[in-house]
Amino acid sequence: MIRKHNSVNRRFWLAGVAALALTGMAGCGDKKAAKDEHGHEEAGHEEGEEAAKGPHGGRLLENGDIAIEVTIYEDGVEPEFRFYPYLKKKPVDPKLVAVTTVLTRLGGKVDTFSFAPEGDFLRGQGVVREPHSFDVAIKATYAGKESSWKYASYEGRTTIAPEAAVTAGVQAEAAGPAVLAERIDMSGRVEITPEGKSEVRAWYPGRIMSMTGELGQTVKKGQVLARVESSESLQTYSIPSPISGVIMEKNASVGGVAYDSPLYVIANPNALHAEFFVFPRDAERIKVGQDVEVRTLSGETKLMAKVESLLPSTDPTTQTVMAHVRLPAGAAANFRAGLGVEGSFLVGAQDVPLAVRTNAIQRFRDFQVVFAKVGNTYEVRMLKLGRQTPEWTEVLEGLDPGEVYVTQGAFLIRADIEKSGASHDH
């Protein structure tokens, strides 16, 4: 574990991050740190000054003839304090020494430890929770004499000036409850609904005398589009548009003979639905009325719709079932017939008391983490995670409700911490 105290604003540059190529982020300078036997770096010394070490590789705190060697032991056990007492540099029976330790964490949370003698050391009664980043206050009493020490021991922490964080796009929000939506994604295409399309045919066979409609023309229901002379009665009759819409096809011309083929095909561009091919493994979970997020292939345009129908037949070749999703009014502004789309079908949802945004989670050492924000200071939070969706991840341990964490730009915070060396390896 590396603990490092960052105190002086600095700027760093991340290679390959265009957003920071000219701005950088103002962080914290670091001081030379001392490491204990587990690789923890500790800070709180003057420039160039290293903390004294004891025989067990821990930090040695001295007050006259009395000394305490501070270690965090974590080989095969959860991290715990083990303090070794000395008098005139010689080990002292730990039964003769009383010790208390107070850890003040970022944000003001306090952990207090009592100690019990065990072998040649004093064992802390409790787990030293990750991150091992705190201000330490220790009191020890031996032979009626009290000694006390204070120092900072930080890891996974950095400070960034507000203007630099804004420029870099760093955003944060409070952690809290969320709805974990279970979704199934599939591909489809936009089509005009059956009732939104109509073929314009001659009522009786005959010669086409006139055609007033043109490709792409918008027409109204009842508008006359052609006149045909009946072959039987030799009477000329008008052919009106059966619906309002746009002329999509024109399949005849003046002087031709109207018979079985449609003269025009008219479609209402606003009467749209999306057709999705549902594979057998998902078919039982797709239901009429489910919410669906429909988005363009670029992902830039999204809208919410509902499953309108599931066709009762299965395609014998692909073994898929067709699901129709009705698109709302106004969808035609961004969705056109024939356009490929993606659909995210909501097949389940569950409330959880605490969750973070999935894209905020980063890898730090052997942990999945987010970065808490207190003022201008950012610090790692090791998480125990539960269920996960592309949007939200349930948090079981490691973060408190209401704690503010970085949602955008978390990888920049991690890079700054790793660049400063304010991390450690177990």
pLDDT one-digit tens code per residue, 77-102 = 999 999 999 999 999 999 999 999 99
Query: Domain spanning 194-267 has what CATH number?
Result: 2.40.50.100
User: What string of DSSP letters covers 31-92?
Assistant: ---EE-TT--EE--S-TTPPPPB-TTSSEEEEETTEEEEEEEE-SSSS-EEEEEEEETTEE-
Whole-Å CA distances, 365 to 318, 369, 417, 419, 426: 45, 9, 12, 14, 8
Confirm if 82 and 57 have CB atoms less than 8 A apart. Answer: no
- Residue in 398, 414, 357 with CA at minimum distance from that of residue 157: 414
Per-residue pLDDT, 283: 87
Length of the chain: 426
| Angle at the Cα of 104 from the Cα atoms of 103 and 107, rounded to 5 degrees | 150
> Who's near 49: CB < 8 A, 6+ residues apart?
32
Query: CATH 2.40.50.100 region(s) of the chain?
Result: 194-267
Mean pLDDT of 399-414: 96
Confirm if 413 and 406 have CB atoms less than 8 A apart. Answer: yes
Give the chain's largest Cα–Cα span: 127
Tell me which of 374 and 320 has the higher pLDDT.
374
Distance between CA 388 and CA 68 in Å, rounded? 45
Per-residue pLDDT, 421: 63
- pLDDT tier, 280 (very low <50, low <70, confident <90, very high otherwise): confident
The CATH class that applies to domain 171-192+271-408 reads mainly beta
Task: State pLDDT tens for residues 234-251.
Answer: 999 999 999 999 999 999
Per-residue pLDDT, 64: 93
Q: What is the pTM of this model?
A: 0.67
Distance between CA 126 and CA 107 in Å, rounded? 21
Buried b (16+ CB within 10 A) or exposed e, 261-295: ebbbbbbbbbbbbbebebeeebeeebeeebbbbbb
Query: CATH 2.60.40.3340 region(s) of the chain?
Result: 6-158
- pLDDT tier, 44 (very low <50, low <70, confident <90, very high otherwise): very low
In angstroms, how far is the first alpha carbon of the chain from the final one? 6
Task: State pLDDT tens for residues 141-185.
Answer: 999 999 999 999 999 999 999 999 999 999 999 999 999 998 999
**Tell me: domain 6-158, CATH 3.20.190.10, correct?**
no
Task: State pLDDT tens for residues 347-396.
Answer: 988 999 999 999 999 999 889 999 999 999 999 999 999 999 989 999 99
Distance between CA 151 and CA 345 in Å, rounded? 54
3-class secondary structure per residue, 1-45: CCCCCEEEEEEECCCCCHHHCCCCEEEEEECCCEECCCCCEECCC
Query: CATH 2.40.30.170 region(s) of the chain?
Result: 171-192+271-408
Exposed (0-12), middle (13-18) or buried (19+): which is 418, by Cβ within 10 Å?
Answer: middle
Mean pLDDT of 40-60: 69
Confirm if 27 and 6 have CB atoms less than 8 A apart. Answer: yes
